[in-house]
Chains A and B, each alone.
Chain A
Amino acid sequence: GAVVSQHPSRVICKSGTSVKIECRSLDFQATTMFWYRQFPKQSLMLMATSNEGSKATYEQGVEKDKFLINHASLTLSTLTVTSAHPEDSSFYICSARALRNEQFFGPGTRLTVL
Chain B
Amino acid sequence: AQSVTQLDSQVPVFEEAPVELRCNYSSSVSVYLFWYVQYPNQGLQLLLKYLSGSTLVKGINGFEAEFNKSQTSFHLRKPSVHISDTAEYFCAVSTKTNTGNQFYFGTGTSLTVIP
Contacts and interface: CB of A to CB of B under 8 A. Distances in A.
Q: How big is chain B's contact interface, by range? A: 20 to 34
B103 A107 contact: no
Contact of B108 (A43, A100, A106, A108): A43
DSSP class of B's interface residues: helix, strand, loop or mixed?
A: strand
Contacts of B44: 44, 93, 95, 105
Given A101-B51, A108-B41, A42 B100 contact: no
B105 A43 contact: yes
A41 B43 CA distance: 14
Interface residues of A, number: 27
A4 B36 CA distance: 15
A49 B102 CA distance: 9
A83 interface: no
B102 A46 contact: yes
Contacts of A41: 110
A110 B41 contact: yes
Contacts of A104: 46
B42 A103 contact: no
A105 B43 contact: yes
Interface in A26-85: 32, 34, 41-44, 46, 49, 51, 57
B74 interface: no
The 6 A-B residue pairs with the shortest CB-CB distance, nearest first, are A107-B43, A105-B44, A101-B101, A108-B43, A105-B43, A43-B107
Interface of B: 32, 34, 36, 41-46, 49, 51, 90, 94, 96, 99-103, 105-108, 110
Given A32-B100, A57-B99, 8 more contacts: A44-B90, A44-B105, A49-B100, A95-B103, A105-B36, A105-B44, A106-B43, A108-B43
